[in-house]
A and B are shown apart, each in its own frame.
Chain A
Amino acid sequence: MGADGLTSYQAAVSHSFGLSEKKALQSVTSVAAQSIQQDHRIGFVRPGYDADLAIWDSHPLSVGATTVQVFVDGREVLDAGDALEKLETSARPTDLSVPKTRPTIQQEKRQDICGKAVAPGSKIAFTGIKSVLIQKPVPSIGTNSVDENSLVMLVSNGEISCLDVESKCLAPHIQGSILKIHLENGYVTPGLVAFGNNIGIVDIPSEPSTGDGSSGGKSNALNQQKDLHFAKYGVHFGGRGFGRARVGGVTKAITTPISGGGALQGVSVGLRTNENATILGGGIWKNDVALHFAVGQEAKGKLQFNQYK
């Protein structure tokens, strides 16, 4: 079995997208062994087979599953003392259970809901909110009378118009139709800020023409007028990176100019990932966020395309 992170990660991703637990595990054990015609000695836990085994601290298809011990040819690879210590503590049921797969939705149902949600003047009520992690205080939280699952968040015109118990937010006097979306184990968190990506400055890192372009190698950090570059003059909105960022909960991004190498990278800009953001229409929340430098191997004057990992 691939005790390294990569193969089991691939199996976990496949499982989360719907591959059955059994098939996902087989893909890194028995089926993999069969495909290289080694299933007579590896890929199964059977007497007579190679003792190449991995013991995991939680379900191998779950995020963050870590090997407690690895045996190669019957020999322990990881520290035996640490491994024994971990094995002596009993695992929690949550660690051992199969991770959930991503929910799927029918195309028609999705179009129906999304159509209603983006219609002008629409009101959306999210129910099933388990926890609120934003700073704005919710008046009713903390009092004993609140049942956790009775929180409702009402969104209208792109703003949160109510975040409170159902009785307060969905009072009968509220006019207009409300689209209700029920969450399973819902959380409200602040928007994330992306940092160190190419959002807004280039769409395809290996193709400079899809973005600001890359400056030449030679620049003089002490010649501010010519060689200090600002990302705010080179950003464009509407690239795929923005959509992906939104799906991941990213509402803002801090983006530096593409650097051609060298110590001075330039001045970053603060962008919003809103769908309809434009440069002069609120897409930039801060013109100059920070002055960026690179010191070390990266700054040795080489041309970099995909500077940030």
Chain B
Amino acid sequence: MITGDNTPTVSSGIERLRQVLEEGQQQAAEKPGSIYVRAAKGSLPVVVYTVNEVREACLEP
């Protein structure tokens, strides 16, 4: 059981997303109306906001 959630890394953010969807799948039978269950099933859209930041090194001529 995780208390005081922290996602200090990109990878932990993705782990959290996976855990949420897995929880949704597991609870499908008991709580059909729950948000995570609907998200895991696909009946509620899931929007993931992310920014592809490309930092390029400058080469001096």
Chain A residues within CB distance 8 Å of chain B: 218-224, 227-228, 262-265, 267-268, 288-301
Contacts and interface: CB of A to CB of B under 8 A. Distances in A.
Given A218-B4, A264-B20, 7 more contacts: A224-B36, A264-B16, A291-B47, A293-B48, A295-B50, A296-B13, A300-B7
A300 B8 CA distance: 4
Interface string B24-43: 00000000001110010000
B34 A224 contact: yes
B1 to A, nearest CB: 8
Given A290-B47, A291-B35, A295-B48, A222 B19 contact: yes
Contact of A290 (B36, B46, B53): B46
Which of B3, B7, B23 is most buried by chain A, counting CB atoms within 10 A of its CB? Answer: B7
Interface residues of B, number: 30
B49 A228 contact: no
Contact of A299 (B13, B47, B53): B13
Which of B2, B23, B48 is most buried by chain A, counting CB atoms within 10 A of its CB? Answer: B48
B51 interface: yes
Contacts of B47: 268, 290-293
Contact of B5 (A219, A292, A296, A298): A219
B49 A293 contact: yes
B9 A292 contact: no
Contact of A296 (B6, B39, B50): B50
Contacts of A228: 35-36
B49 to A, nearest CB: 5
Nearest to B17: A293
B35 to A, nearest CB: 6
Contact of B17 (A219, A227, A263, A297): A263
B45 interface: yes
A221 B45 contact: no
A289 B16 CA distance: 21
B59 interface: no
A184 B47 CA distance: 40
A218 B51 contact: no
B49 A298 contact: yes
A72 B14 CA distance: 46
B19 A288 contact: no
Which of B5, B23, B35 is most buried by chain A, counting CB atoms within 10 A of its CB? Answer: B5
A148 B4 CA distance: 63
A224 B34 CA distance: 9
Given A263-B13, A296-B13, A290 B7 contact: no
Contacts of A220: 2-5
24 contacts: A218-B6, A220-B2, A220-B3, A220-B4, A221-B16, A222-B20, A222-B23, A224-B35, A227-B5, A263-B7, A290-B44, A290-B45, A290-B46, A290-B47, A291-B39, A291-B47, A292-B49, A294-B49, A295-B17, A296-B10, A299-B10, A299-B13, A300-B7, A300-B9
A294 B48 CA distance: 5
A291 B53 contact: no
B18 to A, nearest CB: 11
